[in-house]
Amino acid sequence: MAGSNSGQGRRKRPKPEEVVAKLRQMDELLAMGKTIADAAKSIGVSEVTLHRWRHQYGTMQRDRR
């Protein structure tokens, strides 16, 4: 049936605390010199998802300039 959801291929949305934990992990990977693409791959999400989470949840680290 078109449009029906049998549960296949769908992923559960992460809880806000899980997102924050992944963003912190990403910050650590970036601090170690990894690219955004490599950091995203390491934590198992797309670059688009990381950017969306950053916009939604804000940055976790302070501006270090």
Digit-coded pLDDT (tens) for 31-47: 999 999 999 999 999 99
Residue 8: is its pLDDT beyond 70?
A: no
Identify whether 65 is part of a domain: no
Count of the separate structural domains present in the chain: 1
Identify whether 63 is part of a domain: no
Identify whether 49 is part of a domain: yes
The pLDDT mean for the chain works out to 82
Q: Are 21 and 28 in contact (CB under 8 A)?
A: no
Identify whether 37 is part of a domain: yes
Scored b (16 or more CB within 10 A) or e, 25-64 reads ebeebeeeeeeeeebbeeeebeeeebeebeeeeeeeeeee
pTM of the model: 0.69
CA distance 23 to 61: 10
pLDDT band of residue 65 (cuts 50, 70, 90) is very low
Structural domain harbouring 47: 16-57
